[in-house]
């Protein structure tokens, strides 16, 4: 005998639930999403969201709206199945299916007390209409942290290529030319590095670095660095950490990234962030290392791949390569020679990393 078909609630049902809670001085939490392939990241997130109030409604995107948001290959599970699975969770008191890409209309109809959203957003990056509907309902907004490496996209990827699960998954950050990034991609292409680049992030919207990513069909993400040109804002640090986690990155590579990373990136990827620097560290830290080598009259220079910690160019050295300083060198000619060495050294370190 087949079990009776699961029926999600209507917006009116949920509004009544909200009014009952309200009359009793209790709070309804509202969250929304596609919840296509439920994973531990969803469950942890939903438990945290539910703990913000006294009952929770999950608004699930309909099949049509998932297609509009994620492309024709999604959803993997249809809306009724997704709603039924969600409704069985301890954290979930009600499930409603909605057809729009945004939950704006539903928020206005339900008027939840609390709105929870997964951490790939900031309060400021919420859709403006959704935000206005929440403000009109008097809802408080909570952005909850993401669980590293857990996403439907990452799950689907693992399922599609089980034999490749040992492949190193990289997140690459750069601000400029991106020649080291190109060297990584070349090494992947010619098979000397068994890795994939899941995401490329830059603080420079128009950088050749991001162009390279786009041309290679890699997720190219600009992150607004904030108002201070010398310091990456806290919001940007958080956004970078979230992008990297969401992409399921194993190792973060700074390939000419000209900003200093702090928490939460360094906490989330402790001993898993590496940088390439154009000097033989600990000599000549900082931005103008080739010029420093010339000023010091060094006969030899080179590059260093090192782990990144909170101090600039100071983490444990993983590998170095040497190049001569030649008569008549300028900072540019020396740097170009150093970069040639970097293009071999960095992919080599990455290939070692996965071994």
Q: Residue 125: how many CB atoms within 10 A of its CB?
A: 14
Residue of 46, 95, 268, 276 that binds ligand GRF (CB under 6 A): 276
Which residues between 296 and 335 bind ligand GRF (CB under 6 A)?
Answer: 303
- Binding residues with ligand GRF: total (CB under 6 A): 14
Please state the closest distance from residue 302 (CB atom) to ligand GRF, in A: 10
Catalytic status, residue 284: no
Report the interhelical angle of 208-215 vs 179-189 (nearest 10°).
20
| Mask for 18-57, x = binds ligand GRF (CB under 6 A) | ----------------------------------------
Identify the residue whose tokens are 């959704």.
130
Identify the residue whose tokens are 């919840």.
35
Which residues between 172 and 211 bind ligand GRF (CB under 6 A)?
Answer: 174, 176-180
Residue of 256, 302, 315, 347 that binds ligand GRF (CB under 6 A): 256
What gap in Å lies between CA 123 and CA 177, rounded to an integer? 32
Please state the closest distance from residue 183 (CB atom) to ligand GRF, in A: 8
What gap in Å lies between CA 262 and CA 246, rounded to an integer? 18
What gap in Å lies between CA 63 and CA 35, rounded to an integer? 11
Query: Is residue 235 near ligand GRF by the rule CB under 6 A?
Result: no
Contact between residue 346 and residue 253 where contact means Cβ atoms under 8 Å apart: yes
Contact between residue 254 and residue 262 where contact means Cβ atoms under 8 Å apart: no
3-state secondary structure of 328: coil
Contact between residue 70 and residue 34 where contact means Cβ atoms under 8 Å apart: yes
Query: Is residue 259 near ligand GRF by the rule CB under 6 A?
Result: no
Please state the closest distance from residue 281 (CB atom) to ligand GRF, in A: 11
**184 or 249: CB nearest ligand GRF:** 184
**180 or 292: CB nearest ligand GRF:** 180
Q: Which residues bind ligand GRF (CB under 6 A)?
A: 174, 176-180, 255-256, 276-278, 303, 339, 342
Catalytic residues: 277
């Amino acid at each position: 005998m087949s079990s009776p078909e699961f029926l999600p609630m209507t917006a009116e049902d949920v509004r009544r639930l909200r009014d009952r809670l309200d009359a009793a001085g209790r709070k309804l939490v509202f969250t929304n999403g596609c919840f296509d392939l439920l994973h531990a990241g969803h469950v942890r997130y939903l438990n945290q969201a539910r703990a913000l109030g006294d009952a929770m409604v999950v608004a699930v995107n309909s099949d049509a709206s998932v297609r509009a948001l994620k492309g024709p290959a999604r959803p993997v599970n249809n809306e009724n199945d997704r709603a039924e699975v969600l409704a069985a969770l301890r954290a979930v008191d009600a499930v409603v299916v909605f057809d729009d890409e945004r939950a704006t209309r539903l928020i206005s109809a339900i008027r939840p007390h609390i709105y929870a959203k997964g951490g790939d957003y900031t309060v400021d990056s919420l859709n403006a209409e959704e935000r206005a509907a929440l403000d009109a309902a008097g809802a408080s907004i909570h952005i909850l942290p993401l669980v590293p490496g857990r996403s439907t996209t990452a799950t689907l990827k693992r399922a599609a290529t089980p034999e490749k699960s040992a492949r190193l998954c990289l997140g690459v950050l750069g601000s400029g030319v991106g020649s080291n990034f190109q060297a990584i991609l070349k090494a992947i292409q010619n098979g000397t590095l068994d890795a994939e680049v899941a995401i490329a992030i830059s603080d420079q919207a128009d950088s050749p670095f991001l162009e390279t990513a786009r041309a290679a069909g890699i997720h190219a993400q600009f992150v607004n660095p904030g108002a201070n040109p010398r310091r990456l804002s806290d919001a940007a640090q958080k956004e970078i950490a979230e992008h990297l986690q969401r992409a399921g990155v194993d190792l973060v590579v700074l390939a000419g990234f000209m900003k200093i990373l702090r928490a939460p990136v360094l906490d989330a990827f402790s001993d898993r962030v590496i940088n390439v620097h154009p000097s033989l560290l600990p000599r000549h830290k900082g931005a103008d290392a080739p010029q420093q080598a010339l000023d010091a009259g060094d006969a030899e220079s080179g590059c260093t791949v090192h782990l990144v910690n909170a101090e600039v160019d100071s983490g444990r050295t993983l590998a170095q390569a040497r190049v001569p300083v030649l008569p008549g060198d300028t900072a540019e000619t020396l740097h170009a020679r150093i970069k040639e060495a970097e293009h071999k050294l960095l992919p080599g370190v990455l290939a070692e990393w996965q071994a």
